[in-house]
Amino acid sequence: MKAAVVVFPGLNRDRDMIAALTKIGGEAPAVVWHKDAEIPKVDLIVIPGGFSYGDYLRVGAIAARSPVMDTIRDRAAHGVKVMGVCNGFQILSEAGLVPGVLMRNASLKFVCREVKLQIENASTPFTRGYKQGQIIRCPVAHHDGNYFADAETLARVEGQGQVAFRYADGTNPNGSINDIAGVFNEKKNVLGLMPHPENLIEAAHGGSDGRQLFSGLLNAA
């Protein structure tokens, strides 16, 4: 599977994401600067974490309106898988590619810690490396991860299996509604999640619970 990582000014988790995709997929992803005219033909587009455009206006808002997002929206509509992690999730939600919005953490504090995640829907390309209901460890590091959607949207997201991950065992770090840590679009080919699975893939990280997300996604061992 071929992957591309899209980089906006102000992102800082791109190298971790490139390392994870390379180590687990066995092939380095294409790295696309947001001003590049084209995204190569790939099966997976990843927007990593960071602070695109300094989080000006609203987190992810400026990046979500950049021209490269039109390309990503078009690819997603044609079935290409798209994943946004942390700021990438914020960008996807601002672009309307996944439902809901990420607000300032309820504690108003930046949180950098490990949480537990329950796999809520294991029958998608992103989560097929896990068992339904499995609980994994995963790091988070964000100031604006407080997921919110209006009642109608939330009912739809819950009812259509669009919740990918939920903070488990009372580890919700940010006040997210229904403990939601990651959501899919309706077709389940776009995933946004606040936690950083790319930062828990090998012994040197202190664990490898994030690995199966990539191995399942990339069809790699």
Partner 1 sequence: MKARVTVTLKSGVLDPQGQAIQGSLKSLGFDGVGAVRQGKVFDLELGDADRSQAEANVRTMCEKLLANTVIENYTIEITP
Catalytic residues, which ones? 86, 196, 198
Q: Which is nearer to partner 1, 88 or 100 (CB)?
A: 100
156 contacts partner 1 (rule: CB under 8 A):
no
CB atoms within 10 A of CB 212: 20
Q: Which is nearer to partner 1, 107 or 132 (CB)?
A: 107
Give, rounded to a whole angstrom, the gap between the first and last alpha carbons of the chain. Answer: 13
Among 12, 135, 148, 160, binds partner 1 (CB under 8 A): 148
With both helix axes pointing from N to C terminus, report the angle between 14-25 and 211-218 in degrees, rounded to the nearest 10: 60
Give the three-state DSSP class for 64: helix
How far, CA to CA in Å, does 170 sit from each of 141, 178, 208?
17, 11, 22
Query: b/e string for 138-171 if b means 16 or more Cβ within 10 A?
Result: bbbbbbbbbbbbeeeebeebeeeebbbbbbbeeb
Task: Tell the smallest beta-carbon distance from residue 23 to partner 1 (Å).
Answer: 36
Among 27, 150, 169, 186, binds partner 1 (CB under 8 A): 150
Tokens matching residue 89:
């999730």
Among 28, 57, 77, 155, binds partner 1 (CB under 8 A): 57
Stretch that binds partner 1, among 8-16, 127-135, 149-157, 201-209 (CB under 8 A): 149-157
85 contacts partner 1 (rule: CB under 8 A):
no
Alpha-carbon gap, residue 14 to 5, rounded angstroms: 7
Window 95 to 114, contacts with partner 1 (CB under 8 A) = 100-101, 103-108
Count interface residues toward partner 1 (CB under 8 A): 19
Among 58, 73, 128, 137, binds partner 1 (CB under 8 A): 58
94 contacts partner 1 (rule: CB under 8 A):
yes
Q: Strand pairing partners for 33?
A: 7
Q: Which is nearer to partner 1, 28 or 106 (CB)?
A: 106
Q: In 3D, which of 33, 28, 8 has the Cα closest to residue 17?
A: 28
**Given the rule CB under 8 A, which residues bind partner 1?**
57-58, 61, 65, 94, 100-101, 103-108, 146, 148-150, 153, 175
